[in-house]
Structure 1
Amino acid sequence: MKALKSLLLILLLLPLTAFAKAPLVFMTDFGVRDGAVSAMKGVAYGISPDLLISDLSHEITGIFDGAYRLYQTEEFWPRSTVFVTVIDPGVGTSRQSVVLRTRNGQYFVGPNNGLYTLVAEREGIDELRLIDEKVNRRPGSAGSYTFHGRDVFAYTAAKLASGQITFEQVGPRLPNSDLISIPYRHAERQGDVITGGIPVLDVAYGNVWSNIPQSMFDELKVRVGEPLNVRIYNGTKLVHEERIPYQHTFGNVPVGQPLIYVNSLMNIAIALNQGNYAVAHGIESGGECWMEIQKSK
């Protein structure tokens, strides 16, 4: 009895981190209408039933959309978080299966196809490793060529998050320069004109998000309520043009009226108060879509 009490006392005094697993976050383009996401989670729980599993999204529409959703969320997750990212049109081909460790100590497990463009740019690359599928692949899955999300990525990520393997045991190190990056339009200012890409839409509300940082917009010295000339393009085609006021929040303009505002990522965005700006004006997002904001003289 005395020994048991001593053991219980030791357990109570141990920090919670002694038992904690690294968070495991799933992002895919699978949707949730079938069993694919559940199968991946089942594999992870089979590795360690006390893993802390969360979902980023399973409605990703493409590689750059996935890259931006990682950029949108990863900075709010703690060090050692393991992200499983399965937007993988090249599954089963010669594309590489990798684990990226960024300089902030997070891990990204998935295909080397550009998904990590934005997080690598912001956080920096610490190391890149090729997954050794001879040891880091779900047993009995060698004949499966089209579900690496379940058989390779979820399996490897769960072993890494649970501490059953170290990062070095993932597989051989690759040169950091081997990480594939997607080209995209960066924000830039020329005088009173700022241009920037439209990487994604705020899908719930139809707000149009740019990658123009507030710091660059502030260089225009725009007053709250001041209207600006806005042009939105898809490639070289002008899709929409309008004068829109800069405001802090949606309720500062009448219902149905547009505004320029700073979104949750501290980037410039355009919205329609209690409406869907993207639908109203036929605006899309992606590598070819961009906007121009000009201060009136």
Structure 2
Amino acid sequence: MSKALVFQTDFGLVDGAVCAMYGVANTVDPALKIYDLTHEIPQYNIWEASYRLRQTIDYWPEGTVFVSVVDPGVGSTRRSVIAKTTRNQFIITPDNGTLTHIKKVAGIQSVHVFDETANKLPSAGESFTFYGRDIYAYTGARLASGKINFEDFGDEVPVDSIVELPIVPSYREADKVFGVIDVLDIRFGNLWTNIDCKKFHELNVARGERLKVTIRNDTRYVYENTICYARSFADVSIGEPLIYINSLENIGIAINQGSFARAYGIGTGTSWHISFEKYQGTLAK
């Protein structure tokens, strides 16, 4: 019985690239169930590809095959790999850092490297620029349909040999917690930090209380104000900012029915630092 096949790319949907990947998978096995994680990863943004896998993978069943193609090094000497997670899911991707968050958060039990030339779509001919179609969709469809077996496909390599992107850990000092802005809840402009709710709760702040929030980009301070810690968006007035626990149980910041990121020109990545501090002052009414 075939398994679900989930595609993620930075290709967008304005041309036929994703449709061609679907076509390859259907040619391998017309009975495959194919789904999209997203095709709107910013071009070449390996960090976001890694994060979106981490955001999604825990909600898919055992055996699901993910194909993630954000591949600025296409055609180079970087490896092509299949990773098996601790929950027995599979990720086929270039070995360029895309597996960073999966290794750290979900866990990887085994990695196999496979030969791109020997596992290329036969009809691809002399093209070496569309590995998403010719190698990853093709290999993913064969794995999901049972035409190849993970244990017998490719050469096993140490899990520690995969390429990882640098991750800045969150931490607490006295009545402050520090972290970075990992990613945006893109459509709504909410900030998603790497501070998990357990570390945040060490501040002993109750819902309805306010905290001092400071955001800087490297050494440039971008935002400093007090914000209410709320259960959900409806707990504050429209246009008011809030601190909340997001769907990954990390700390987020939003504006109710507005975009925090757009309002203050805030980006993501390890240069975007954020801190939360228990507020001791008195607010003007």
Q: TM-score if structure 1 supplies the norm length?
A: 0.91
Within a 5 Å distance, the mapping from 1:229-240 to structure 2 comes to 229-240=212-223
Within a 5 Å distance, the mapping from 1:129-168 to structure 2 comes to 129-168=112-151
Structure 1 partner of 2:92 = 109
> Equivalent of 1:121, from 81, 104, 109?
104
Structure 1 partner of 2:283 = none
Equivalent residue of 2:273, what SS?
A: strand
Distance 2:191 2:105 in 1: 22
- Counterpart of 2:200, as a letter, is F
- Counterpart of 1:26, as a letter, is F
Tell me whether 30-39 or 227-236 shows the greater mean CA deviation.
227-236
Distance 1:134 1:213 in 2: 42
The answer to whether the 8 Å contact 2:226/2:279 transfers is: no
* Cα shift at 1:287: 2.5
1:38-60 CA-to-partner distances (Å, cap 9, x unmatched) read 00110011000000100000000
* Cα shift at 1:290: 2.1
Within a 5 Å distance, the mapping from 1:42-53 to structure 2 comes to 42-53=23-34
* Cα shift at 1:142: 4.8
2:239 equivalent to 1:256: yes
Structure 1 partner of 2:199 = 216
- Counterpart of 2:241, as a letter, is P
Within a 5 Å distance, the mapping from 1:54-203 to structure 2 comes to 54-61=35-42, 62-203=45-186
2:9 equivalent to 1:34: no
* Cα shift at 1:245: 0.9
Tell me whether 137-146 or 24-33 shows the greater mean CA deviation.
137-146
Structure 1 partner of 2:227 = 244
Distance 1:143 1:171 in 2: 23
* Cα shift at 1:134: 4.2
Distance 2:273 2:35 in 1: 32
1:85-136 CA-to-partner distances (Å, cap 9, x unmatched) read 0000000011111111112101110100000101111222211111223432
Distance 1:133 1:206 in 2: 38
- Counterpart of 1:256, as a letter, is G
* Cα shift at 1:238: 1.1
- Counterpart of 1:129, as a letter, is H
Q: List, as ranges, runs of 4+ consecutive aligned residues in structure 1 with deviation greater than 3 Å.
A: none
Unaligned runs of 5+ in 1: 1-19
* Cα shift at 1:296: 2.4
Q: Which has the larger radius of gyration?
A: 1
Aligned CA RMSD, in angstroms, stands at 1.1
* Cα shift at 1:140: 3.3
1:205-254 CA-to-partner distances (Å, cap 9, x unmatched) read 11111111111111111011111010111122211111101011112111
Equivalent residue of 1:205, what SS?
A: coil
Equivalent residue of 1:199, what SS?
A: strand
- Counterpart of 1:105, as a letter, is N
Equivalent residue of 2:251, what SS?
A: strand
The answer to whether the 8 Å contact 1:96/1:130 transfers is: yes
The answer to whether the 8 Å contact 1:99/1:170 transfers is: no
* Cα shift at 1:144: 1.3
Q: Number of residues paired by the alignment?
A: 278
Equivalent residue of 1:217, what SS?
A: helix
The answer to whether the 8 Å contact 2:54/2:106 transfers is: no
Distance 1:121 1:142 in 2: 38
Distance 1:111 1:142 in 2: 20
- Counterpart of 1:97, as a letter, is S
2:14 equivalent to 1:21: no
Distance 1:170 1:143 in 2: 24
Structure 2 partner of 1:275 = 258
Distance 2:64 2:249 in 1: 23
Unaligned runs of 5+ in 2: 281-285
Q: TM-score if structure 2 supplies the norm length?
A: 0.95
